[in-house]
A and B are shown apart, each in its own frame.
Chain A
Amino acid sequence: KQEVTQIPAALSVPEGENLVLNCSFTDSAIYNLQWFRQDPGKGLTSLLLIQSSQREQTSGRLNASLDKSSGRSTLYIAASQPGDSATYLCAVPPDGGSQGNLIFGKGTKLSVKP
């Protein structure tokens, strides 16, 4: 059964630093991987979706990479800002799933200090 792990659970960095968030999954036969952001007490906002045939996706200061063979994805945030403070979650479809449901990691809580 697919499992998704995010380490560390929490990360604190000074403003301006570049940083990397990690996501690993146990079954490499995935269709895609999604990164989400969640602000306290709010729902999730989709940041990036990487399809299985892709190795990376970029949106502004965010870059997500995917290495299926090793079961890993990273989310790179350039020049971090206090507004980037949030919990970041990654998610994949379960067991070759094609119906759109997802299995989530427990997230990395990021704090960017001014």
Chain B
Amino acid sequence: DVKVTQSSRYLVKRTGEKVFLECVQDMDHENMFWYRQDPGLGLRLIYFSYDVKMKEKGDIPEGYSVSREKKERFSLILESASTNQTSMYLCASSFSGRAGNQPQHFGDGTRLSIL
């Protein structure tokens, strides 16, 4: 079975802190994704990566950056955390396949609270 592991289930940080969310997958997937999920807004794509050291902005990249130094690891960075970044963060991965015809596999999520 595909395993996508997010380093923390719950995280509490303070405004202005630099926050790192880590995600590791064990299936040699090329694609990795970071979403945030908020009530009433659904899942929104922050950043994704289709190869090591490659990254693409999603729909809401402002205030975030990412790092992919190794194929299995994709990190989401909140440069200076703000209260409006309190959310559930979900990491996913998939094979690249042709025309993206590969299912995405998700981690269990990190519930981040910024105080």
User: Could you tell me which A residues sit within 8 Å of B by CB distance?
Assistant: 31-32, 34, 36, 41-46, 49, 51, 89, 91, 93, 97-107
Contact = CB atoms under 8 A, between A and B. Distances in A.
Contacts, number: 74
A102 B109 contact: no
A36 B105 CA distance: 10
Counting contact residues on chain B (CB < 8 A from A), the size range is 20 to 34
Contacts of B109: 41-43
B108 A93 contact: no
Contact of A34 (B4, B43, B50, B103): B103
B96 interface: yes
Given A99-B31, A105-B42, A44 B90 contact: yes
A32 B104 CA distance: 12
A43 B103 contact: no
A43 B48 contact: no
Given A42-B108, A99-B56, A104 B103 contact: no
Contacts of A43: 4, 90, 106-109
A43 B106 CA distance: 6
A89 B43 CA distance: 10
Nearest to A101: B48
